[in-house]
Every structure is written in C-alpha cells, then in structure tokens.
Structure 1
Amino acid sequence: MKSALAITTVVLAVIAAWFVAAALMNASLQRDAYANAGRTDYSTQDFIADSLNMERPKLPAPHQVVSELYKLVFATAPTSKRSLVYHGAITLEETLIGFLIGAALGIGLAILIVSMQWLERSMMPWIVASQTVPIIALAPMIVVILNQFNITGVAPKAAIAAYLSFFPITVGMVKGFRSPDPLQLDLMRTYSATPLQTFLKLRAPASAPFFFASMKIGAAAALVGAVVAEVTKSEDGGLGARLLAGSYYGQTVQIWAALFAAAALSAALVGIIGLVGRATEHRMGLAP
C-alpha cells in the first residue's frame, strides 16, 4: 500500500511538473500566435489553456501525447503506415532478432572467458573497446557496409541491436558463471567432477539471477539499437522512422507519442523477462 502510494505521488508530481513546463515553454509561441492574429482580449486562463493545446508546441502537454497515442494505436488500423502498432511490430521484430543474436553471442563469449582465463586478458579489452564507439556514428556505417552485400531490410538493424545487447550480457554472464563460492568449486573437484559437469551442475544454475538481469539490460539495449538504426534508414518503417518523420515536419506531439510507444515496448520486454525470471528462480528455490 505504501509503495503504491509513493509511486502514485511521484507520477502525479511528474505530470504536474510536465504541465507547468509545457505552459512555460509554449508561452512565447502562444504570445506570437495571439500577436499574429491581432488578439489582445485574452485572459490568463485562456492563455494557459491555449498554450497547452497548440498544434505544434515546443513541449506537448501530457493530454496531447495521450490523445496522439490513442489515435495512432487504437483509432488507426494496425495495417496502416500511420499506426504505431504497425511501426512497433517492425521495431519489435528487429529488436527480438538482434536480442537473440546478441544473447547467444554474449553467453558464448562468457562461457569461453570463464573456461579459458587467458581469453579474458586477450578478449575483454576488445569487448569493452567495442562499446566506446558512438552508436549514432557506427549505425550508418553498418547499414552502408551491409547494403554493399545486398543485405537490407531487418538484417542491418538487427545487427546493430545485437551489437548493443551482447556487451551487458557478456559481462553479466561472466560475473554469473564465476558467482559460485570457492568452497563449492572445491567440493566439485573433490567429487572429481569434470569441467563440463562443474559448469552444468554448479556454474550454470548459480548464474540464473545474473542471466535474467543481463537479459533485461540486453533487451532494452537491443531496442535502443533498433530505433537508432531505423533513424539511419527510415524507409523501412519502425518507431525510429516515426521519430525522424516527426522531426522533419515539426510534429513534436508525434515524436513524443513514438517515444512513449518505444518506452512501453521496452518496458513490456523487460517486464516479461522479469516475470519469467521470478518464476524460474522460484522453481529453482532461489527466490521465495
């Protein structure tokens, strides 16, 4: 009860601050609109109301974003290219493909690093260095290079999503595979367990909490990669394409609606992984 009350209080405070910020940021535009229309007989209440309902505001008010989301999600046919459901499905496909590739690569690298410690010294610096290149600069390069090999459509965007997602998964799984207590490892050696048996019976089960935490971060990173790739190559659609189209035509409400749709998609992916993680850990006896 207290937790719900605290969350509700924070959400209401954020919404109130958002309304105030929207009114303040749109005030100059609304003042210019009144001047162009030759209107001087307006009250403060009218001024605030109009500044919160501008067609192209600097900062849209919360109710404008909610209205745009309703229109583009529920009031528009899912097959329409104006629908956020249509574009969200494209982004989701790219995200899931990239996430699965990144997860497989990340877990595979983690297994190699834990199994052969010399690989950590040789590979880990390069894995870390790979994440220092700004994705906004790398994404166009990947798209152009793959296009030269006639690889277009979902593949380049999934590759960028995989690039962003494999790193947190690799780091998290290395930590997870190394999480067993040294006494437990000594006990496995006492039983003459092979490295494979130690991995399957001890390291893999012990890494479950790290696995699901890494998957959450990886899924969110994969979606960011997919959206950035869509901004780079927008003709195929996706939520990133909607962001780019909104910026081209000054449709700030459309931009914010696409942002919230992407955030909701990311939250859904993380939530699903969290539910699966809790159920798995409960079944394994790792959680109440």
Structure 2
Amino acid sequence: MKTLLAILTVVGAIMVIWYAAAVPMNMGTAISEAQRAGVEVTPPEAQVRRDMSGTSLTLKNLGLISATWELKRPRLPAPHQVAIELWDTTAMKKVNSKRSLIYHGWVTLSATLLGFAFGTGLGILLAVGIVHSKVMDMSVMPWAIVSQTIPIIALAPMIIVVLYSIGIQGIIPKAIISAYLSFFPVVVGMVKGLRSPDAMQTDLMHTYSASQAETFWKLRLPSSLPYLFASLKVGIAASLVGAIVGELPTGAVSGLGARLLAGSYYGQTVQIWSALFAAAILASVLVGIVGLLERGLLRRMGLSR
C-alpha cells in the first residue's frame, strides 16, 4: 500500500508540473487563436506579444489558461491530450490500420526482437571468448568499448546506406542497429557474471577434476545468470531505441520512428508525444517480460533470493 501511494504521489506531481509547464509554453499560440476569434487579449500588439515571455503573457491573460490545454497544435501537449491520442490510435483503430499505434508498434517490435536476438547471441559468444582467452580479453574488449563511443545517430545512416547499396533492405538494417546497441550491455554483464565465482569455488571444481567445459556449465554459467538478466533488461530497451533510430534516416512509413517523423513534418506534437509514450510503454512491457523470465528461471534453478 505504501509503495502504491508513493507511486501515485510521484505520478500526481509529474502531472501537476506537466500541466503547469504547458501553460506558458502554449500561451502565445492560445493568444494568436483568441485574436483570430476576435477575443481581446493583453497586450494587443502582435510585435510586443512576441517579445514577451510565456510567463508574462500568462500573468496578463489568466483567462486563457484552460485554452492552452486544448490547442490542436500545442508546443507542449497536455497529459489528457496525449492520453486521448493514445486511446484513439490504439483502441479506436483497426490493428492493421496505418493510423494504429499497435500496427506501428508491431513493426518496430519485430526489428527490436530480431536485433535483440542478434545482439544477445553475439554478446554471449564474445563474453565466453573473453573469459576463456587472454588474447580476446586484451583485443576484443577494448574494441567493444570503443564501438560504443560512436553516436548511433551518426552511425545509423552509414549502416543503412551501406546495406542498401548491396541490396539489403527492410527489417535487417534496423535489426543490425538494434543489435549494435544491445550487444555491449550483454558483453559487460556476461563477462562480469562468468568471472563472479571466487577462487575457492574454482579450486573446488579443480579438486573434483572437472574439465574446463564442466566448470563452465556447472559453475560459471549458473553464476552468471543474475548478471546476464540484468544486462538483458538494459539491452532490450536499448534495442528498441536502436530500432526507432533505424527508422528515422530511411523515411520509413511504418513503425514508431515513422510516427515521430510524420508528426515532426506536419507539426503534430500530440502525435509525437503519443508515439513517445507508446515506445516507453512497449519498452516497459519488454523489460517486464525479461524480469518475469528471470524470476522463473532463477527460482527453478534455486538461485532466487
């Protein structure tokens, strides 16, 4: 009960701040619409009004506060506007409609899962090699770290152009970008997990004359699972970001990235915010699924707390 109360308190505070921030940011637009409708505002001179801050305009036009929360194209949409747009583009649209966020979310999700599978597989293989090979530890790990210093927004167009030039289009370029973002957390987490057994545990395995493979399967791998799942939660969220970023340079017509592009092209800020919230909800669901798998597997193996 205390946890629920704390969550509701934080959410309520965010809503209050959000509504308050929307007023000065949207007041200029609200005044413009009021002037076109023949409503008297302060100050009446357009040039003076443009030179004034949103806060000053708000203090001089308190009667227009409610109007700042109902604009068709606000600078900052009010929470209820985003909620209505989410409802209209999910529950009120057919799943296969190009205006449905469920349809666009599925397009992005398919690239996310494929890229996450690529990135996770690559990250686990690299981690195993790094732990068991000094050469890979000294050579591969530094390059893996350096690869993450390249901004994905700069790398994504390069990957897409190169792949397009050799005839690879569709979901694969987005999946590769997703894999690029998701493999590094898996590498780091898996390496930490595989190295987590202490010297006493490894010496005990040697005492039992266990081979390197037996030590891996019976000691290192089970010990690494908590670390692996922690990194998978980060990786799945990063993979979703990669899929969305991969849709931006291509001028995609489907996917959450495409909804963001369309909203920015036509000044539909409510559409942009609804797509952002849809992406956040999708990421939360994916992380939650990974968490459920973690609890189930660790409980089955007797490793849960």
TM-score of the aligned structures, taking structure 2 as reference length? 0.92
Q: Does 1:54 align with 2:102?
A: no
Number of matched pairs:
288
The 2-side partners of 1:108 and 1:248 are apart by 42
Q: CA deviation at 1:46?
A: 4.6
Instruction: Read off the aligned partner of 1:32 and give its amino acid letter.
Output: S
Greater Rg, structure 1 or structure 2? Answer: 2
Secondary structure in 1 aligned to 2:288? helix
The 2-side partners of 1:6 and 1:37 are apart by 44
Measured against aligned partners, the alpha-carbon deviations of 1:239-260 in whole angstroms (never above 9, x if no partner) come to: 0010010000000000000000
Secondary structure in 2 aligned to 1:243? helix
| Equivalent in the alignment of 2:53 | none
Q: How does 1:38-187 map to 2 (within 5 A)?
A: 38-40=38-40, 46-187=63-204
Instruction: Read off the aligned partner of 1:85 and give its amino acid letter.
Output: I
| Equivalent in the alignment of 2:269 | 252
Q: CA deviation at 1:286?
A: 1.8
| Equivalent in the alignment of 2:280 | 263
| Equivalent in the alignment of 1:37 | 37
Secondary structure in 2 aligned to 1:180? coil
Unaligned runs of 5+ residues in structure 1 are none
The 1-side partners of 2:279 and 2:235 are apart by 15
Contact 1:76 1:83 in 2 (8 A): yes
| Equivalent in the alignment of 1:11 | 11
Pick aligned residue for 1:205 from 222, 230, 236: 222
Unaligned runs of 5+ residues in structure 2 are 43-59
Q: Does 1:26 align with 2:43?
A: no
Moved over 4 A (4+): 41-46
The 2-side partners of 1:265 and 1:232 are apart by 22
The 2-side partners of 1:234 and 1:216 are apart by 29
Q: CA deviation at 1:287?
A: 1.7
Instruction: Read off the aligned partner of 2:37 and give its amino acid letter.
Output: A
The 1-side partners of 2:221 and 2:251 are apart by 40
Contact 1:153 1:236 in 2 (8 A): no
Contact 1:169 1:211 in 2 (8 A): yes
The 2-side partners of 1:122 and 1:139 are apart by 25
The 1-side partners of 2:118 and 2:187 are apart by 12
| Equivalent in the alignment of 2:296 | 279
Contact 1:281 1:287 in 2 (8 A): yes
Instruction: Read off the aligned partner of 2:273 and give its amino acid letter.
Output: W
Q: CA deviation at 1:45?
A: 6.4
The 1-side partners of 2:280 and 2:207 are apart by 50
Measured against aligned partners, the alpha-carbon deviations of 1:13-70 in whole angstroms (never above 9, x if no partner) come to: 0011101011121112112222233311799665111110100000000000000000
Contact 2:41 2:61 in 1 (8 A): no
TM-score of the aligned structures, taking structure 1 as reference length? 0.97
The 2-side partners of 1:234 and 1:271 are apart by 31
Instruction: Read off the aligned partner of 2:290 and give its amino acid letter.
Output: I
The 2-side partners of 1:234 and 1:99 are apart by 23
